[in-house]
Amino acid sequence: MKKKLLAASLALIFGAGAGYVVNTYAQQKPEVLLKQRQGAMALQGKYFGQLNAMAQGKAPYNAQIVVRNAGYLAALSEMPWDGFSPDTKDEKSRALPAVWSDAGQFKEAQERFQGAVAKLVAAKGDETTAKAAIGEVGKACGACHDHFRAK
């Protein structure tokens, strides 16, 4: 029994390991957390903006850039969220109170965005598939901003 419990606990600790350590390290000053999460958003804008221009026909389609930026966005889509720590509530930013009061919906919005980025990665630069995925990514960005970011 003890052995089973130990095994279960270890599995739990191991499974939760990444999140746990991240949370431990996230004990940063609120202004640092803010700067980091805004940095991730600024870079999402940089690399999505290039793709959006292609999807809208404002720039020539370039499969190499699409594949590269999809990879960048996959990483960047994981980076901002632990920066929305409750102790950053009083920092000056465009984050709306709903980020903390509707945490469940905020999490769903993050996952919708990550799911759309995953489709973009899976497109492997195929123009039709990638352009559709870029559209979905854009809608996910907008939907989250509508609810959780001040105009």
**Which tokens hold the place of 128?**
């039709």
CA contacts within 13 A on the Cβ side of 4: 1
Q: What is the dihedral of CA 103, 109, 113, 115, to 10 degrees?
A: 90
* Distance of alpha carbon 20 from alpha carbon 118, whole angstroms: 24
**Contacting a copy of itself within 56-85 (CB under 8 A):** 59-60, 62, 64-65, 68, 71-72, 75-76, 78-79
Residue 27 binding a copy of itself, by CB under 8 A = no
Considering the complex, state which of residue 78 and residue 98 has its C-beta at the smaller distance from a copy of itself. 78
Segment contacting a copy of itself by CB under 8 A, of 54-62, 98-106, 116-124, 131-139: 54-62
Binding mask 119-138 for a copy of itself (x = CB under 8 A): --------------------
